[in-house]
Structure 1
Amino acid sequence: ALKSPWRPWGNKNTDLQYVKDFQPQNEKLKHIRVLLYGPVGAGKSSFISSVSSTLRGRIATPALYKTHKIPKEVSGKYYPFVFNDIMGLEEGTGVRVEDVKLALMGHVKEGYTFNPVSSLSPSDSHYIPQPSPEDRVHVLVCVCSANKMKEIREEASDLDIPQLAIVTKIDEACGETEKDLKNVYLSKHVKNKMADFSSKLGIPLNCSLPVKNYSHEINTNEDVDTLILGALKMMIDFGDDFTDSL
């Protein structure tokens, strides 16, 4: 273990209040759109479920290319950020890089089923020819690492879309974090893993965040929530900065 943490532990209550109070600066937008991408089994859908569980204070499981909204305590109200996750980036069977690029620009309509053989074309009914600022992706989040992600990252960079990375299953990274999740920033092994992940992906270490998704739990957990909220706060901040200029 390290003598001092390589990153400070977050404050769940402060971050939770921040998220609950958040509204996009750009008044033309109802929400910030976050696109999660990564290989099969990386934890994209689980992360969305975990965010929902953290904000609702109970384990929740949200259900194609679908926009995931998270309901507030007030009936009929939703948080002003949404998530899209896409099928994995496996060679030959996963989503095509060209389709992810179209999603980044807002050309992909709700309910589209990605085809690993051919990309979405302008003649398809699920193609949005003139995307609104709200259709576009405002933050790109990589979940875990894979060789195919570089091209997508470059496209996002060309579009000036801010990018983050989240590393899931951090509790399984070493014995110390498995015993106590708070040890995540005291673990030399986790720090080295994160630095290696950051280097391979080309996303700075301060934009790479360790999280644990809810998987087998039946109740929410303070430490899991703290890491989830820290990642969520950075996502909406990055997205808000980007949409301010749209």
Structure 2
Amino acid sequence: MSGQLPDRYMDKLESWIGTGPKIFTLLYKITRDGCNATTFHQKCDNQGPTVTVLYNQQDSVYGGYGSLSWNSSGNYIQDTNAFLFQMKYSGNDTHTKFPVTQAIYGLYGHSTYGPAFGSGHDLYTFSGTVNSSGGYYALDGYVRIGNAFNNQSIDAKQINNGNMYVTELEVYSVTDGDRKKSPPQASQPWRKTPEWNEKFLETLTEDIVSFKPSGELGLSDVRILMLGPVGTGKSSFYNTINSVFKGRISQRARCGNATHSITTAYTPYLVKVRSGASLNFRLCDTRGLEVTQGLDILECSYLLDGSIPDYYEFNPATPICPDHPGFVHHPRVPEKIHCVLFAIDAKTVGDIPPKLVEKMNSFQKIMNHKGIPQAVLLTKVDLACHDVASKISNVFTSTKIEDAVDKVSGLLGLPRNNILPIKNYENEMQLDDNISILALLALRQVLYFAEDYIESIQEKMSALKLSSQRLTKGDVVQKSGDFVKE
């Protein structure tokens, strides 16, 4: 099993060490060797210069370099060349070197400790034995840079996300020599699509224009409810789709940056083609989700059932109830929601407040109970990845976007293919085929989910109708038998 430290990080460490090309050889790896202080010292003591690297659940990478050998003496190891570092924070490369300021406390060698740097200590990894739990190791160490190393005005939480839950810890020996670098590999898409060109855009457009819900339930269109934290771009998604079919940038739905939701009413937007004909779906916009304000769980249930009237203005102080004059007590299938589309910002996936995640999960329980399908718009992908910003079609080869998809899948418990990356029209003054393709690709998938749901409803209604007919027929037979007996 090889190490997971990439060449670009080795290059950076070489430049920080500053004494020429280096070869990095893996000595110790906790997922292979176990997280055990004795094992660490058996494999790493008296090996000369080493680099210790920690990788955590939030996709942060940090560690320390020592130019002298580890030992088990129970004493500090004076090292004028030692430094701590971070390579990545919450999925973004962040190269920072924290030089030693008190060399006498550079390293600390102790038989019951894993790698430890500085007095106090600045970086203390673990002691004794730590077992894996749920795919990570809850190390009993900490980060407190600022004692024997210069913290560069960076808080410890901005290095390890405020925890020592790591997925891996590695120690490499560092020796002089020209390193054989891995050959560059062509990026393989983590989600395959046809080639992005005008023909693909036309295909997506035709598929959406031709979409029509089954006529058995009296549906002229399906309703897609858009939910999401404030500022994630759900209203902008409607504007993006509307722009594609209008052939120009459109701003029908109000959107922008604000502390609280700009959207205040339940608005089922239609999308029209240039001829003026309406497409067979509605993107239903509503208030943004907030921890203490915004849509509550009862209002969400009413929305799903079709009980909240179109264009209802939400009142944070007085949630709607069945006594409201516009409340729909007996909604028909066309008024109900047929798919829910959460909007989540790709750049801030790891920063969503836990209480807000809990709120979305509580909404999902209602949706699951009602059998309503759910998907996620992973918005602002251009802000989450430079490669995607330079070329939108890189979205399905970007590891940062793939990581964001994985995180959202874990947060909401949805399959990865229900997480749909998009970039809304926001700074553009004219349409861009790649932005349009990505938006239509997401919309087409959502319509497929709604179509599947409608088929399930029809099957249930057919089964209930058949069951009712059987009961009625049995009742007639029973009554006839009673008459004969009399």
Q: Indicate conservation of the 8 Å contact 1:167/1:211, yes or no.
A: yes
Percent identity between the aligned chains?
A: 29
Matches within 5 A, 1:194-205: 194-205=405-416
1:7 aligns with 2:191: yes
**Is 1:44 matched up with 2:228?**
no
Partner residue in 2 for 1:24: 213
Q: CA deviation at 1:182?
A: 1.0
Q: Could you tell me how far 1:26 is from its partner in structure 2?
A: 3.3
Unaligned runs of 5+ in 1: none
Range that drifts further, 92-101 or 221-230? 92-101
Q: Retained in 1: the 8 A contact 2:385–2:401?
A: yes
Q: Which residue does 1:186 correspond to in 2?
A: 397
Q: Name the residue aligned to 2:371.
A: 160
**Deviation at 1:86?**
1.1
**Which among 422, 425, 432 is matched to residue 221 of structure 1?**
432
Q: What's the CA shift for 1:106? A: 0.6
Task: Name which of structure 1's ranges 33-42 and 16-25 shifts more when overlaid on structure 2.
Answer: 16-25
> Which position in structure 1 is the counterpart of 2:150?
none
Specify every segment of 5 or more residues in structure 2 that has no aligned partner in the other structure, as ranges. 1-184, 195-199, 254-264, 345-351, 459-486
What secondary structure is seen at the aligned counterpart in 2 of 1:82? strand
Residue 127 of structure 1 corresponds to 327
1:133-144 → structure 2 map (5 Å cutoff):
133-144=333-344
SS of equivalent to 1:232: helix
Shift of 1:13: 1.8
The equivalent of 1:172 in structure 2 is 383
* Amino acid of the structure 2 residue aligned with 1:149: M
Matches of 2:304 and 2:446, distance apart in 1: 15
Letter in 2 for 1:17: E
Match of 1:102 among 288, 291, 302: 302
Give the CA deviation at 1:2.
6.5
Please tell me whether Structure 1 or Structure 2 has the larger radius of gyration of its CA atoms.
2
Shift of the alpha carbon at 1:80? 0.5
* Counterpart contact for 2:225–2:283, Cα < 8 Å: yes
Shift of 1:134: 0.5
Q: Alignment partner of 1:79: what SS?
A: strand
Q: Relative CO higher for 1 or 2, CA cutoff 8 Å, sep ≥ 6? A: 1
Contact kept, 8 Å, 1:170 with 1:184, in 2: the verdict is yes
Query: What letter is aligned with 2:272?
Result: P
Residue in 1 aligned with 2:268? 67
Q: Distance in 2 between matches of 1:157 and 1:203?
A: 11
Any conservation in 1 of the 2:247–2:274 contact (CA below 8 Å)?
no
**Post-superposition CA distance 1:69-117 (Å, at most 9, x none):** 1112223x20000011111111233121210111001110012122223
1:161/1:242 contact within 8 Å kept:
yes
Name 1:242's counterpart in structure 2: 453
Partner secondary structure for residue 215 of structure 2: coil
Q: Count how many residue pairs are aligned between Structure 1 and Structure 2.
A: 245
Query: What is the alpha-carbon distance in structure 1 between the residues aligned to residue 341 and residue 288 of structure 2?
Result: 13
For each residue in 1:137-172, what CA deviation from the matched residue of structure 2 results, as whole angstroms up to 9, or x when unmatched?
A: 000011016412001111111000111111000011
> What TM-score does the superposition give when structure 1 sets the normalisation length?
0.95
| AA at the equivalent of 2:417 | N
* RMSD between superposed Cα atoms in Å: 1.5
Q: Indicate the larger mover: 18-27 or 232-241.
A: 18-27
Greater alpha carbon shift after TM alignment, 135-144 vs 94-103: 94-103
**Residue 86 of structure 1 is aligned with which of 277, 286, 290?**
286
* Post-superposition CA distance 1:177-198 (Å, at most 9, x none): 1111111111111111110111
Q: Which moved more, 1:2-11 or 1:130-139?
A: 2-11
